[in-house]
Amino acid sequence: MNNIKQKDNKVFYISLALSIIVVLWGIIGQTSFANFANSLLGFLTNNFGWSYLISMLLFVVFAIFLAFSKYGNIKLGPDDSKPEYSNASWFAMLFGAGMGIGLVFWGVAEPISHFVAPVAGIEPGTVEAADFAMKSSFMHWGFHPWANYSIIGLALAYFQFRKGKPGLISSIFIPLFGEERVNGSIGKLIDILAVFATVAGVATSLGLGTLQINSGLNYLFNIPETILIQMIIIAIVTFLFIWTAVTGIDKGIKILGDINLYLAFGLLVLVIILGPTLVIINNFTNGLGQYINDFIRDSLSISAFGDNSWLNSWRIFYWAWWIAWAPFVGSFIARISKGRTIKEFIAGVILAPALASVVWFSAFGSLGINLADKLGLESLSIAAQAPETALFQVLAEYPLGSILSLITVTLLCTFFITSANSATFVLGMFTSEGNLNPSNNKKILWGLIQSLFAAALLLSGGLEALQTASVAAAFPFIFVMLLAMVSLMKAFKEEKI
Which one is predicted more confidently, 466 or 195? 195
469 pLDDT tier (thresholds 50, 70, 90): confident
Quote the pLDDT of residue 3: 40
Q: What percent of the chain has pLDDT over 70?
A: 97
Residue 311 has pLDDT above 90, yes or no: yes
Cβ–Cβ under 8 Å, residues 117 and 124: yes
Per-residue pLDDT reduced to its tens digit, 273-293:
999 999 999 999 999 999 999
Quote the pLDDT of residue 7: 42
- Calculate ∠ Cα 204-197-60, nearest 5°: 105
Residue 167 has pLDDT above 60, yes or no: yes
Quote the pLDDT of residue 110: 96
Which one is predicted more confidently, 8 or 295? 295
Quote the pLDDT of residue 249: 67
75 beta partners: 341
Distance of alpha carbon 449 from its chain centroid, rounded?
A: 20
Domain regions of the chain by residue span = 2-492
Quote the pLDDT of residue 4: 40
What residue type is 8 in one-letter code? D
Per-residue pLDDT reduced to its tens digit, 343-385:
999 999 999 899 999 999 999 999 999 999 999 999 999 988 8
Spatial separation of the C-alpha atoms in residues 57 and 51, rounded to whole Å: 10
Report the CATH fold assignment for 2-492.
Amino acid/polyamine transporter I (1.20.1740)
Which one is predicted more confidently, 6 or 149? 149
Residue 51 has pLDDT above 70, yes or no: yes
Mean pLDDT value of segment 83-107: 83
Per-residue pLDDT reduced to its tens digit, 115-151:
999 998 999 999 999 999 999 999 999 999 999 999 9
23 pLDDT tier (thresholds 50, 70, 90): confident
Spatial separation of the C-alpha atoms in residues 56 and 52, rounded to whole Å: 6
Spatial separation of the C-alpha atoms in residues 52 and 477, rounded to whole Å: 11
What is the DSSP secondary-structure string of 231-297? Answer: HHHHHHHHHHHHHHHHH-IIIIIHHHHHHHHHHHHHHHHHHHHHS-HHHHHHHHHHHHHHHHHTHHH
356: left (phi over 0), alpha (psi -120 to 50) or beta: alpha
Across the chain, mean pLDDT equals 89
pTM (predicted TM-score) = 0.91
91 pLDDT tier (thresholds 50, 70, 90): confident
CA-nearest of 263, 268, 253, 262 to 419 is 253
Residue 99 has pLDDT above 70, yes or no: no
Positive or negative torsion for Cα 363, 369, 374, 379: positive
Instruction: Compute the radius of gyration of the chain from its Cα atoms.
Output: 22
What is the DSSP secondary-structure string of 124-153? Answer: TTSHHHHHHHHHHHHHHHSHHHHHHHHHHH
104 pLDDT tier (thresholds 50, 70, 90): confident
CA-nearest of 411, 347, 301, 257 to 57 is 301
Quote the pLDDT of residue 1: 37
CA distances from 71 to 76, 102, 153, 342, 491 (A): 11, 33, 16, 7, 11
